[in-house]
């Protein structure tokens, strides 16, 4: 017969394991929120690049900070130019030139820049079309697919989203009435991903890392509120970046 001492030892062991798993889960959730936020800010930078000009493009190309330049023909006699020199360092400008009957607008711009760069032009590729042109109708409806155009944190963001989706479907300790609520909030609105990591299976700021069964249920209305809260933070980030780079 198992003694009371051995029973208590096993209880303490399992309790300790549960605490460690809960702490590890919380640490991962914090990291996931940071990764998602970093990826979102990078996407905002791509959507609202800073204003620059030919001197900045030549500088970044000569320093080896840019390898791909997107060129979009917008009108006769001008093209829009986009490039990235690093995280949150996305730039654009409109380039005016004398119209040549021999070369298309994008090719004429590339020829002009290559001429100014000289031998250093070999490290720069010019692509016609903006990076966001890769987004189709389905991508616009499913925000998780935005990772395809993220210049940085693309795969970490994809992994965090995949882990979140698996947790929504497989976890049995969710506070929401149904995994479908989280799937809808995440796959349609996108901001459900950080809201999920912040809220499930217990609030990220709760005092105890382990589930004690005393966490309040998360109704559909509260879940929508959490998602809307993260969407509001996202809107503030977009507005701030747009105003600072306009």
Going by C-alpha positions, the residue among 108, 63, 104, 103 that lies closest to residue 83 is 63
pLDDT score, position 27: 93
pLDDT score, position 206: 72
Domain residue limits, the chain: 26-47+135-245, 50-134
Q: 83-116: string of b/e by CB count within 10 Å (b at 16+)?
A: bbbeebbbbbbebeeeeeeeeebbbbbbebbbee
pLDDT score, position 141: 62
pLDDT score, position 13: 41
CATH number of 50-134: 3.30.720.90
The parts of the chain modelled with pLDDT lower than 70 are: 1-18, 75, 98-103, 132-142, 207-215
75-129 residue pLDDT tens? 677 888 999 999 999 999 988 876 665 667 778 888 888 989 888 888 888 888 7
pLDDT score, position 120: 83
pLDDT score, position 14: 42
Q: Please give the model's pTM, rounded to 2 decimal places.
A: 0.81
pLDDT score, position 49: 92
């Amino acid at each position: 017969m198992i003694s009371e001492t051995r029973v208590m030892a096993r209880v303490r062991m399992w309790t300790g394991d549960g605490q460690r798993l809960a702490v590890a889960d919380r640490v991962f959730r914090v990291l996931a929120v940071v990764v998602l936020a970093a990826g979102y800010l990078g996407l905002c930078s791509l959507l609202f690049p800073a204003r620059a000009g030919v001197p900045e493009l030549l500088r970044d190309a000569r320093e080896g900070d840019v390898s791909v330049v997107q060129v979009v023909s917008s009108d006769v006699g001008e093209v829009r130019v986009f490039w990235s020199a690093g995280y949150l360092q996305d730039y654009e400008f409109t380039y005016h030139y004398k119209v040549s009957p021999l070369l298309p607008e994008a090719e004429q711009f590339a020829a002009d820049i290559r001429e100014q760069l000289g031998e250093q032009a070999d490290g720069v590729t010019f692509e016609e079309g903006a990076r966001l042109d890769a987004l189709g109708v389905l991508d616009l409806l499913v925000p998780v697919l935005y990772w395809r155009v993220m210049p940085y944190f693309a795969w970490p963001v994809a992994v965090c989203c995949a882990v979140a989706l698996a947790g929504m479907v497989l976890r049995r300790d969710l506070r929401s009435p149904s995994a479908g609520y989280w799937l809808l909030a995440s796959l349609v609105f996108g901001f459900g991903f950080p809201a999920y990591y912040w809220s499930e299976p217990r609030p990220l700021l709760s005092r105890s890392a382990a589930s004690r069964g005393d966490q309040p249920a998360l109704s559909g209305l509260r879940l929508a509120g959490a998602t809307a809260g993260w969407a509001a933070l996202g809107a503030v980030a977009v507005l701030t970046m747009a105003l600072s780079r306009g």
